[in-house]
Amino acid sequence: MEKLSEIPTKNDTQMSQDEESVMKKYFKPESFAAVKTSSGGWMDTIKLAMYASVLFLILANPWIDSILCMVPYCGENVLVLLAFKALLFMILFVCTFKFLVS
């Protein structure tokens, strides 16, 4: 069985009108017009890891725990505080990732 990445692509043929209308109906035009061939590279990966590490160190700080305990329902239990910090980390990480990608 062949891997999907090993199957050759047809880049030299033009799409018919029907194929193009289907592609426009179900996909954004820029998604099938130009496919990004390379990921960001090692430097972007290192930047993302660095930002994630700094974000983790900020949220793992005991001073942040005392600030987050002021949020209603957050300081009642250690597990609730952990869940809140995990959710906050996830949101900030996604924002950082989107900032680096765009």
What pLDDT is stored for residue 30 in this prediction?
62
Q: Calculate the dihedral angle through the C-alpha atoms of 16, 1, 35, 21, rounding to the nearest 10 degrees.
A: 20
Contact status, residue 64 vs residue 89, Cβ threshold 8 Å: no
Is pLDDT of 7 > 80?
no
More confident residue, 4 or 32: 4
What is the spatial distance between Cα 96 and Cα 49, in angstroms, rounded to a whole number?
A: 10
**3-8: average pLDDT:** 72
pLDDT tens digits, 29-88: 665 544 444 456 888 889 889 999 999 999 999 899 889 888 888 878 889 999 999 999
The whole-model pTM stands at 0.57
What pLDDT is stored for residue 29 in this prediction?
63
More confident residue, 80 or 23: 80
Helix (H) or strand (E) holding 18: helix 17-26
Task: Pick left, alpha or beta for residue 73 (phi over 0 → left; psi -120 to 50 → alpha; otherwise beta).
Answer: left
CA of residue 101 relative to chain centroid, distance? 8
More confident residue, 47 or 3: 47
